[in-house]
């Protein structure tokens, strides 16, 4: 049976310059989070297939259900600027308010080795949002900073192994993207 759980753990300094840039943007976006209720600040940065970068943070409302999640905000920016474009990579940085960290600081705890030790990058709602713009590609990378400073890299297919997406409704985002480009 094929395994669907693939997680890579690396230190920030071992990441490519592109990943480091996205993590820095996500960490910067996190500082803009408006989260007076959970006091849990989240930032996200997404790269589209054309290499453009989008960021978002969580914005809570007192009704709770109207809260915007960071990944959702970043992906909505992507959709606004490049309708139907594929997301190539998305990273997430989350920590309670008052927790300050440097992405390139030494690890603050033992290295994590098992999936059951990992802090999830995204909630189910956001996994669905990410999948919407993956064009059916389960290998799209999703990465987040673990509380000890390690970076976890996995794929949307590992986090959401049996996804429901536009394809299930007969919708082809790639065709829609090309159609939209012709109109421009």
Shortest distance in whole angstroms from residue 70 CB to Zn ion: 7
**CB of 18 or CB of 125, closer to Zn ion:** 125
Is position 69 an interface residue for Zn ion (rule: CB under 5 A)? yes
CA dihedral over 110, 56, 135, 120, signed as positive or negative: positive
Is position 124 an interface residue for Zn ion (rule: CB under 5 A)? no
**CB of 123 or CB of 171, closer to Zn ion:** 123
Partner residues linked to 151 by β-bridges? 10, 145
Is position 30 an interface residue for Zn ion (rule: CB under 5 A)? no
Partner residues linked to 95 by β-bridges? 41
**Interface pick for Zn ion out of 14, 31, 105, 123 (rule CB under 5 A):** 123
- 3-state class of 57 per DSSP? strand
Residue 113 burial (C-beta neighbours within 10 Å; 0-12, 13-18, 19+): exposed
**CB of 69 or CB of 86, closer to Zn ion:** 69
Stretch of 12-20, 31-39, 121-129, 134-142 contacting Zn ion, by CB under 5 A: 121-129
| Three-class HEC string of 105-173 | CCCCCCCCCCHHHCCCCCCHHHHHHHHHCCCCCCCCEEEEECCCCCEEEEEHHHHCCCCCCHHHHCCCH
**CB of 89 or CB of 127, closer to Zn ion:** 127
**Interface pick for Zn ion out of 25, 87, 126, 143 (rule CB under 5 A):** 126
Question: Of 138, 134, 112, 127, nearest to 8 (Cα)?
Answer: 112
How many chain residues touch Zn ion (CB under 5 A)? 4
The residues binding Zn ion (CB under 5 A) are 69, 123, 125-126
């Amino acid at each position: 049976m094929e395994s669907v759980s693939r997680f890579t753990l690396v230190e920030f300094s071992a990441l490519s310059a592109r990943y480091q840039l996205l993590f820095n943007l996500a960490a910067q976006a996190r500082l803009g989070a408006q989260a007076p209720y959970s006091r849990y600040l989240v930032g996200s940065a997404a790269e589209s297939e054309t290499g453009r970068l989008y960021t978002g943070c969580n914005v809570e409302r007192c009704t709770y259900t109207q809260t915007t999640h960071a990944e959702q905000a970043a992906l909505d920016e992507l959709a606004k600027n490049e309708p139907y474009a594929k997301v190539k990579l998305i990273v997430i940085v989350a920590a309670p308010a008052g927790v300050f960290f440097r992405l390139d600081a030494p690890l603050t705890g033992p290295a994590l080795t098992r999936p059951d030790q990992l802090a999830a990058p995204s909630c189910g709602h956001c996994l669905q949002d990410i999948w919407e713009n993956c064009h059916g590609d389960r290998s799209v990378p999703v990465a987040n900073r673990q509380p000890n400073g390690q970076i976890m890299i996995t794929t949307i297919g590992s986090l959401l192994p049996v996804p429901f997406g536009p394809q299930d409704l007969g919708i082809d985002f790639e065709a829609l993207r090309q159609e939209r480009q012709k109109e421009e």
